[in-house]
Chain A
Amino acid sequence: MASVLVLINAGLSLIFGLKIHRSLLIAAVRMVVQLTLIGLVLTALFSLVSPLWTGLALFAMILFAGQEIMQRQDRRLSGWWSFGLGTGCMMMSSVLVTVFALLTAIRPSPWYDPRYAIPLLGMILGNCMTGIALGLNTLTTSLMLRRSSVEAQLMLGATRWGAAAPVTRDALRSALMPTINSMSATGLVSLPGMMTGQILSGVPPVEAVKYQILVMFLIAGGTGFGAVAAVLGGVYRLTDARHRVRLDRLAASQAI
């Protein structure tokens, strides 16, 4: 029944000549197929409870998220760095935070039970991905725009970290802004999906809220670690041991 709403949207696009009805319908079909498939995959994983298969599923999720980070860059780093930096930092921080939560707060048995590990990593990964993508994008664009101000400090004998500090600060701020916004708006403006889901399936609201608070902290922690690592890694890559700005280490700009 609810799919009628998407069809109505597509109809509106036709009427107003927005020319998005095609992509809208394709996206809707993709969503249905992907969710159905993941439902089947999760059923299989949950019945297996194998550390190997759970680990592989988590790894695949991280690789997809890393691809997404790369796609969202206006100017990518050249070579392997473009995929490796974002993916590596995201993997480090989200796995660390997930394992930390599984071992201390949630404690399922066994601790790698996919019923907990996969949704938890998924939620942390999604936010971490957005943070890293925004942070790296802000870093490269503002380093390009403000190259002369960074170099002015270098000319006066500043180190690469000192000279890039204003740019680094901007990048970190924009990486963490969505997380801060969602923490402060949650409960007033938006009810988080996980909490809503739990309430719909009959969990008492206070219980659901407790879980949600935990998840919010995990997300904030994971995004923070990941973004700091990725942005500092980006500064490291875009400067060199002689403390020079190396914008030549960005790949040539591509048409979007």
Chain B
Amino acid sequence: MLLRAIADLDPNQGLVSLQGRDRSTIPGPEWRRLVGYVPAEPGWWAETVGEHFGDWTAATAVLAKLGFPEEAQSWPIARLSTGERLRLALVRALIIRPKVLLLDEPTAALDSASVATVEDLIVTRLRAGLAVLWVTHDVGQARRIARRQLAVEAGSVREEID
């Protein structure tokens, strides 16, 4: 719910700003291109994988790193596993080149090898200047990647110090 509110998908209160620009001064679609959001259950609006990517050639480079072949373009969405969907949705959000990425358990349905590749991919992007707000239940994952950790407990947020 917090991530949906930051991406401005539900009516919400509070101030959100990006690089000093208040969210209310930026139109909704432009805000969501700057602040990408990958939900835990991503949605699909067409039948095949390729139709969900504006620029398939740009996507293939990133998709290859996550183990998707070139011909994945014609795969029907209905036959994908949950893990495949999560990884495709992540790439779909990344190729728009957002400044911030909001991730909701992006590795929840992945095997440990895929978890490692997804974490590597995100870490590379972090070094290139992407900011990520990553929701996870995996304390180990948080320790591996995060620079700041916030724990949500019983409705309140507190800072975790390593």
Q: Using a CB–CB distance below 8 Å, which chain A residues touch chain B? A: 146-160, 166, 240-246, 248
Contacts and interface: CB of A to CB of B under 8 A. Distances in A.
Interface stretch (B33-41, B124-132, B154-162): B33-41
B43 A149 contact: yes
B29 A158 contact: yes
B140 interface: no
Given A155-B9, A244-B8, A244-B10, 17 more contacts: A146-B43, A147-B43, A149-B45, A150-B45, A152-B42, A152-B89, A153-B43, A154-B28, A155-B7, A155-B93, A156-B96, A157-B29, A157-B33, A157-B96, A158-B29, A243-B29, A245-B9
Given A155-B7, A244-B9, A149 B44 contact: yes
Interface in B18-39: 27-30, 32-33, 36-39
A242 B92 contact: no
Nearest to A248: B11
Contacts of B41: 148
Given A156-B33, A156-B92, A244 B28 contact: yes
Given A166-B45, A244-B10, A244-B11, A155 B36 contact: yes
15 contacts: A147-B43, A148-B42, A148-B43, A150-B43, A151-B9, A152-B52, A155-B39, A156-B36, A156-B93, A158-B29, A240-B11, A241-B28, A244-B8, A244-B10, A244-B28
A185 B109 CA distance: 52
Report, nearest first, the 4 A-B pairs whose CB atoms are least far apart. Answer: A152-B43, A148-B43, A243-B28, A157-B33
Given A244-B8, A244-B11, A245-B9, A159 B29 contact: yes
Interface residues on B, range: 20 to 34
Interface of B: 7-11, 27-30, 32-33, 36-39, 41-45, 52, 89, 92-93, 96
Nearest to A244: B9
A150 B43 CA distance: 8
A246 to B, nearest CB: 8
Nearest to A148: B43
Contacts of A154: 9, 28-29, 32
Contacts of A149: 43-45
A9 to B, nearest CB: 46
A155 B101 CA distance: 11
Given A151-B9, A244-B9, A244-B11, A156 B42 contact: no
Nearest to A167: B45
B147 to A, nearest CB: 25
A135 B149 CA distance: 48
Nearest to B53: A156
Contacts of A244: 8-11, 28
Nearest to A158: B29
B32, B39, B45, B52, most chain A CB atoms within 10 A: B45
Nearest to A246: B11
Nearest to A155: B37
Contacts of A148: 39, 41-43
A166 B52 CA distance: 14
A146 B46 CA distance: 11
B7 to A, nearest CB: 6
A53 B92 CA distance: 61
B108 to A, nearest CB: 17
A146 B45 CA distance: 8
Given A157-B33, A244-B9, A152 B28 contact: no
Contacts of B33: 156-157
B53 to A, nearest CB: 10
